[in-house]
Structures are given as C-alpha cells and as structure tokens.
C-alpha cells in the first residue's frame, strides 16, 4: 500500500490527537459541570422549599390560585424564564393540592419523600424530575419543589459546549497554521523534486542545498556524493569507449589496406600470399584486442564482492601458462628461471582472473624480451615477481599500465591493455602492481596493498 | 613518382608500400621517426605519407622541422585520431591533407596524386605535351590519339619530365626519383629508358644536354 505523504500523515495524526484530547477534556468538564450544577440547583431548590414551607397556607383557596394564574399569564415579558426551570406545589397532609406555581407545578403528584428524590411526574412528558418535599412549619401542609432533570443536563451541556467554542476555533486555527507551516517547510523539497525530474540524464551537477531544512540536508549531501561518484564512473566508461573505438581504428586500417593489396595482387601470387598471410595476422591481432577489451570491461563492471574466491595453486597455473607459450619461448630461444613457493600474496582468489593476470605478465615478458635472454618468475609470500630484459625508453616506461598505451614502433602485436588488466586484477585481490626499469632490466611486482584506506572498488 | 612513408604499424606500413607500388608509385617506408625524417633530406620525394604516433620522434614535430627547414614536399597525415581538433592541429602544423584510419588504399593514392598535382600548380587532370597526353590516373599515354604502351619505369620517367617542363634533370636526380633504396640501379638504366621513350614517342621528346642532364623537348 502506498504510504501517505508526510504532510497528510502529520495533519491527520494532529487532528486525531487534538480531537481525542478535546473529547476527553469535554467529557471531564461536562461531568464536573454537572456535579456543580446539581449542587447549585439542589441548594436553590432547597432554599425555595424552605421559604415556601415557612409561609402560611391556611388561607389559600382556589381564588388565590386563579388570581396567581392570571397574573402570570398577564406578564408581557417573562424574562429568560424556562418552564422546566423550577416548579412547585403545596398539598394538604391528605394529599390535596391547594396551590401551585400555575405552570408545571399543577402536574405534581402527591408522593412525599424525605430529602431529594428523582421522580416520575404524572404529566404527558415522561421526564424525570428532581423533587424535594418539605413539611410546612405548622405541620399541616407539604411543599413540593421540583425541577426537570433534562433541564439540568441541557444547562450543563450548554455550559460545556460554550466553553469548547474558543477551544475549537483555536484548534481550527492551529490546523490551518500547521498545514501552512508544513507546506512552507516542504516547499524546497518539492522544488528539488521538480528540478530533479527536469534534469537531463547526463547532468551530474550538485543539487542545490540552499534553503533545504537541516533534517533533509544529510540525504541531499549523500546524493551529491553519489552523483559525483556516478559522474566519475560515467566519465571513465565514456573515455574507455572512446579509447576502445580509437584503438580499433589501427587494426582495422591494417586489415583494410592489406585487403586492398590482396585485391590488387590477383595476378601476383607471391604478393597475394603475403597479403593473405598479413590479413590473418591482422585478424588475430584484432581478435586479441577485442578479447582483452571484453576482459577489461568485465573487470570494470563486476564488483569484487561478486567474484567467487578459492585457493590458488600458483605452481599449477605457472606451469600451465608456460606450457601454453612453449612454442614462442623455443622460437625466441628464451631461458626461464622459476622460483615458486606455496605461499603467495594472493592465496585466496579467483582462479580465472589469476590465470589471466599471470598470462598477461608472462605474455608481455615473452613478447618484449630480446632473443636468447632470460626471464625470471618468482612467487613468494611477499610478491609475484617477473624480471626480464626490455628495450623500453624511460618516457614510455612512465606511461606503462595506461590503457591502450603501447610504446610506438612495436613490431609485436599487443593490444596495449595487458598491464591495465593486470593492475585491475591485482586491485580486486587487494594487491598493487609496481614496475621498475633499471639498466634495461624490467621488473614487475604484484604485492599486497598495506594501505588501510585502500578500497578495492572498481 | 617516388614517395616516402613513415608508419610504425607493420601491417599498415607493409600494406601501404606494396599497395602503392602496385598503383605505380616508388615507395620508401620507414618505421622510425628519426630515420624517416632524415630520409626526406636524402632523396627527392614527390610526397610524404606521415603517421603521427612514431617511435624516435613523433609525426607532428618531424613535420614542423621539415617546414621550418623550408621543405615543401606535400604531406598527407594518416592517423587514428579522428577528431576535428586533431585534424586542425595537423593541418596547421604544416600538413597538406589528413586521412583518418581506417582508409582505402585507392583514396590514399588519389590524395597523393592530387597533392602532387597541386604542388606543381597543375590544375589539368592530365599532363599534355603537344599532341601527347599522359593520364596519371589511368597511367596511360596517347600520342595523336594513339595508345602508346610504356613500361612502368618509362611511365615514371615521362611523368617526371612532364611535371618538370623546362627544367634540366640530371641523371642522378632521375635515378633517385625513379628508384627506391631497395632497388638496384644499373649504371646505364636512365639512358636505356630515355632511348626507349624516344623510340616510342619520337626523337624530339627528350633533349640531352651533354654532361648536365636531360630536358623535355619542344612541343
């Protein structure tokens, strides 16, 4: 289910809590008011009953009653009087009503009690009344003063409701204000969302953090960091693609020109054969370049954590690779000196990548060593070391390991990616590659990276 | 037409050399920048094909040095760098034309011919001398509308005379323009070719100036 917006949730919960609290407060105040009102009206009723009880009722007859009724009816303005507010009647001991207030009191039924009681009155309305019965001072009469209970309740409710009015207005104002405040505070977020949605896919510029609430700032800062990282990755990717495209031009040019020569040599068998042989060589070179490109691109895109690790047997790997290159080694009359041990800087690793790394290193050494020279391969716990003679200028040496860099004038068909691949694989295995060149002796060392800040991320 | 190629990629260099030879050029090919740069001072070339990434010395600085030393040979740059800035930089460094790899051999040949033609201020596509017409593109010669069959070196020699009307060319100059360093030249090779040209195109086609050299005859 879609989560409600922060704004809506805030306002809803605010509303529910306010109403809950308001309801509780109202109920409590209604209960309190009712108690107070009961006390107040009871006192009032008792006072009235006492006054009536102390009056002299001996001379009262039906004429007095009639006169009273006429007087009440003649009143033009009876103030804010309510019929149910208070009523009374006077009875003889025998239960005969001799006088009443001319209104509700005439419906009173003779049923004296001691003290207050809630009684049903024999009137068409079946409402309960609060009644007090008192004996008159002379002991001949009963005085009854009553008040309708509904009236009391309505009066208390009215008082409570009236006290709630300013509170409700306050609540309404508070909700409006909160709504406005939340909207205002969230406006920069909305603005940011809009800017982001209008952003081009290749726009990696920082998100503006001005006017953003401090609660959101850390997220935006992190997003800016992420943008920066993505930008550098995209840049790397782009330059890789452009480098790769550029590097493919040379082998393609070779293929094209050799094919042109082949077509021109239809009647010249010797030249035709040479061009055909060159074409084969050129295609092999292109295939090798593409293979290396794919290897490097896979290394770039795979996160090291996704690479399966296992125990690496460097002896086995070294012998396999050397067997593979045996024809070339014999052809150039190279000598090999091997110093292998069971320990190595990469004990746990990915076998395919480790083979690829050592193969690239050995292939380079075999390719660039002068004829009849010696190549030394040493694997110790500290490092994998490869040493060979190499005619490399110091200017070219400084650029080794750069993608697609090949010292110019190479007669050998390299892709210029071998050492980049070696570096990348070493990095994935938390190792570094060091190159040194001294008096024509080229030394490559793959050793563990002891820099604690080193992150083996692509 | 003798041209100089500086290209360090073995397959491209070999292809250019063999291919352009098949298209009628005499070609010298160097893979090293320094050697290639010196070669231009050692022999008369009609044009140069120059790769930019060369060992020894890079193409652009070679080109700048040639231009600084007033070498006017037309230069066609061949490079894998295809962007406009690179082309502009190459042309402003003194190149006459620019081709991006991969290229067609025929286009290289056509551009070299166009550069040479422009270099000699010759706007006509064919070379004329009286009723003789030499077509550098098809490498055919007609005299009074009759096709004349000439051997490859005779064609090169005739082209040289036609491109250098009014100029005296010494025997050594002709040898250098006709033959690359790989080819062996017999001492009377030029005399033999001149003799053959006179036999096929008439005695007056080439004049001999004793002990100085040869000159294209009057129309």
> What is the rounded distance in angstroms from the CA atom of residue A403 to the CA atom of residue A238?
13
Per the CB < 8 Å rule, is A261 touching B105?
Answer: yes
pLDDT of B172 reads 87
A307-320 pLDDT, tens digit per residue, is: 677 888 888 888 88
Per-residue pLDDT at A458? 38
Task: Report, as an integer, the average pLDDT of B118-135.
Answer: 83
Distance from CA of A445 to the nearest CA of B (A): 27
| Interface contact A264-B101, CB threshold 8 A | no
Tell me which residue of A144, A155, A153 sits closest to A87, measured CA to CA.
A144
Residues of A in contact with B53 (CB under 8 A): 408
On chain B, the residues whose CB falls within 8 A of the CB of A261 are 15, 18-19, 22, 105
Looking at A102-106, A354-358, B88-92, B208-212, which range is the least confident one? A102-106
Q: What is the pLDDT of residue A83?
A: 58
Among A260, A268, A407, whose Cβ lies nearest the Cβ of B15? A260
Tell me the mean pLDDT in the region A205-224: 84
| Buried b / exposed e along B8-27 (16+ C-beta atoms within 10 A) | bbbbbbbbbbbbbbbbebbb
* Residue in this structure with the two tokens 């009359």, named with its chain if needed: A333
Distance from C-alpha of A190 to C-alpha of A353, rounded to nearest angstrom: 48
C-alpha distances in Å from residue A155, one per residue of A22, A148, A150, A160, A169: 20, 11, 8, 9, 22
Which residue, A129, A211, A174, A131, is CA-closest to A22?
A174
State the average pLDDT over residues A246-252: 83
A337-369 pLDDT, tens digit each: 888 888 888 888 888 788 888 988 888 888 888
DSSP conformation letters of A243-296 = HHHHHHHHHHHHHHHHHHHHHHTTT-HHHHHHHHHHHHHHHHHHHHHHHHHHHH
Please give the mean pLDDT across all residues of chain A.
83
Kindly report, residue by residue over A150-201, the tens digit of the pLDDT.
888 888 888 888 888 888 888 888 888 888 888 888 888 888 888 888 988 8
Q: pTM (2 decimals)? A: 0.56
pLDDT at residue A456 in the model: 44
Residue A260 has pLDDT above 90, yes or no: yes
What's the whole-number mean pLDDT along residues A82-105? 82
Place A408 in a pLDDT band, splitting at 50, 70 and 90: low
Contacts of A397 in chain B (CB under 8 A): none
Q: pLDDT tens-digit profile of B44-60?
A: 899 999 998 787 788 89
- pLDDT over 70 for what percent of chain A? 90
Cβ pairs bridging A and B (under 8 Å): 87
Which phi and psi angles does A145 have, rounded to 5°?
-120, 125
What local confidence, expressed as pLDDT, does residue B6 receive?
A: 94
pLDDT above 50 (res A326) = yes
- B219: pLDDT strictly greater than 80: no
The answer to whether the CB atoms of B12 and A253 lie below 8 A apart is: yes
Measured distance CA(A178)–CA(A7) in Å, rounded = 9
What pLDDT is attached to residue B113?
A: 92
How do beta strands A335-340 and A310-311 pair?
Answer: unpaired
A249 and B101: CB-CB below 8 Å?
yes
In the beta sheet, which residues pair with residue B98?
B77
% of chain B exceeding 70 in pLDDT: 99
Residues of chain A with Cβ-Cβ distance to B82 below 8 Å are 246, 249
A454 — pLDDT class (breaks 50, 70, 90): very low
Length of chain B: 219
**Distance in Å, alpha carbon of A232 to nearest chain B alpha carbon:** 23
pLDDT at A254: 92
Bridge-based pairing state of the strands B206-209 and B213-216:
antiparallel
What are the Cα distances from residue B216, in Å, to B128, B133, B136, B158? Answer: 12, 14, 17, 9
Q: Do A406 and A368 touch, CB atoms closer than 8 A? A: no
| pLDDT higher than 90, residue A280 | yes
Return the pLDDT at A78: 55
End-to-end alpha carbon distance in chain A = 37
Give CA–CA dist A262/A271, Å, rounded: 8
pLDDT of B20 above 60: yes
Considering chain B, what is the average pLDDT of its residues? 88
Kindly report the backbone phi and psi dihedral angles of residue A88, in degrees, each rounded to the nearest multiple of 5, phi listed first. -150, 160
Please give, rounded to a whole number of angstroms, the shortest distance from the CA of B141 to a CA of chain A. Answer: 21
- Alpha-carbon distance B93 to B90, whole Å? 5
Query: A173-186 pLDDT, tens per residue?
Result: 888 888 888 888 88
Residue from the list B32, B100, B105 with its beta carbon closest to the beta carbon of A257:
B105
Beta strand A374-379 pairing with A335-340: parallel
Question: Residues A131, A145: contact at Cβ < 8 Å?
Answer: yes
Whether the bond between B102 and the residue before it is cis, its omega within 30 degrees of 0, is yes
Query: Is there a contact between A253 and B82 if contact means CB atoms under 8 Å apart?
Result: no
In whole angstroms, give the CA distance from residue A193 to residue A5.
14
Q: Does B152 touch chain A (CB under 8 A)?
A: no
How many residues would you count in chain A? 458
Can you give the pLDDT at residue A77?
Answer: 60
Are the Cβ atoms of B22 and A265 closer than 8 angstroms?
Answer: yes
């Amino acid at each position: 289910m879609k989560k409600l917006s922060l704004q809506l949730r805030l306002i809803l919960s605010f509303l529910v809590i306010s109403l809950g609290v308001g309801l509780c407060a109202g109920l409590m105040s209604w209960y309190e008011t009712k108690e107070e009102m009961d006390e107040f009206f009871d006192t009032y009723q008792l006072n009235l009953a006492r006054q009536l009880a102390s009056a002299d009722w001996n001379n009262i007859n039906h004429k007095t009653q009639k006169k009273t009724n006429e007087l009440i009816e003649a009143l033009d303005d009876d103030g804010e009087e309510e019929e149910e507010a208070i009523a009374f009647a006077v009875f003889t001991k025998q239960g005969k009503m001799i006088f009443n207030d001319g209104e509700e009191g005439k419906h009173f039924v003779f049923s004296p009690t001691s003290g207050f009681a809630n009684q049903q009155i024999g009137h068409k309305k079946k409402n309960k009344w609060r009644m007090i019965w008192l004996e008159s001072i002379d002991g001949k009469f009963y005085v009854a003063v009553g008040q309708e209970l509904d009236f009391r309740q309505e009066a208390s409710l009215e008082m409570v409701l009236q006290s709630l009015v300013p509170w409700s207005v306050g609540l309404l104002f508070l909700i409006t204000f909160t709504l406005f405040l939340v909207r205002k505070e969230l406006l920069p977020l909305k603005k940011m969302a809009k800017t982001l949605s209008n952003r081009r896919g290749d726009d990696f510029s920082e998100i503006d953090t001005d006017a953003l609430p401090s609660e959101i700032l850390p997220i935006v800062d992190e997003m800016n960091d992420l943008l920066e990282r993505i930008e550098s990755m995209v840049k790397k990717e782009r330059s890789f693609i452009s480098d790769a495209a550029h590097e493919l031009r040379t082998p393609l040019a070779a293929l094209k020109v050799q094919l042109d020569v082949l077509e021109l040599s239809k009647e010249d068998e010797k030249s035709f054969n040479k061009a055909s042989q060159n074409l084969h060589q050129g295609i092999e070179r292109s295939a090798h370049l593409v293979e290396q490109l794919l290897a490097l691109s896979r290394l770039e895109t795979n996160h090291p954590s996704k690479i399966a690790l296992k125990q690496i047997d460097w002896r086995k790997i070294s012998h396999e690779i050397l067997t593979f290159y045996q024809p070339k080694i014999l052809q150039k009359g190279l000598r090999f000196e091997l110093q292998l041990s069971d320990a190595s800087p990469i004990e746990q690793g990915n076998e395919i990548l480790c083979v690829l790394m050592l193969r690239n290193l050995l292939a380079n050494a075999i390719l660039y060593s002068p004829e009849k020279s010696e190549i030394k391969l040493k694997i110790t716990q500290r490092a994998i070391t490869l040493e060979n003679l190499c005619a490399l200028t110091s200017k070219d040496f400084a650029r080794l390991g750069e993608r697609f860099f090949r010292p110019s004038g190479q007669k050998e068909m390299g892709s210029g990616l071998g050492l980049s691949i070696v570096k990348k694989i070493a990095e994935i295995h938390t190792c570094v590659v060091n190159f040194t060149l001294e008096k024509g002796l080229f030394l490559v060392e793959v050793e563990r990276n002891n820099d604690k800040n080193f992150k083996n991320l692509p | 037409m003798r041209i100089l190629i500086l290209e360090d990629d073995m397959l491209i260099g070999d292809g250019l050399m063999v291919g352009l030879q098949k298209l009628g050029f005499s070609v010298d090919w160097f893979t090293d920048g320094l050697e290639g740069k010196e070669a231009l001072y050692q022999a008369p070339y009609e044009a140069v094909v120059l790769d930019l990434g060369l060992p020894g010395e890079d193409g652009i600085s070679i080109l700048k040095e040639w231009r600084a030393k007033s070498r006017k040979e037309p230069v066609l740059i061949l490079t894998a760098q295809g962007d406009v800035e690179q082309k502009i930089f190459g042309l402003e460094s003194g190149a006459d034309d620019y081709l991006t790899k991969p290229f067609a051999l025929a286009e290289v040949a056509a551009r070299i011919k166009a550069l040479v033609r422009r270099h000699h201020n010759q706007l006509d596509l064919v070379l004329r001398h009286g009723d003789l017409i030499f077509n550098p593109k098809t490498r055919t010669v007609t005299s009074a509308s009759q096709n004349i069959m000439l051997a490859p070196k005779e064609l090169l020699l005739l082209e040289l005379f036609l491109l250098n009307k009014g100029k005296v060319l010494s025997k050594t100059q002709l040898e250098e323009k006709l033959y690359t360093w790989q080819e062996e030249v017999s001492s009377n090779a030029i005399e033999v070719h001149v003799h053959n040209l006179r036999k096929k195109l008439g005695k007056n086609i080439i004049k001999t100036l004793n002990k100085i050299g040869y000159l294209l005859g009057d129309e």
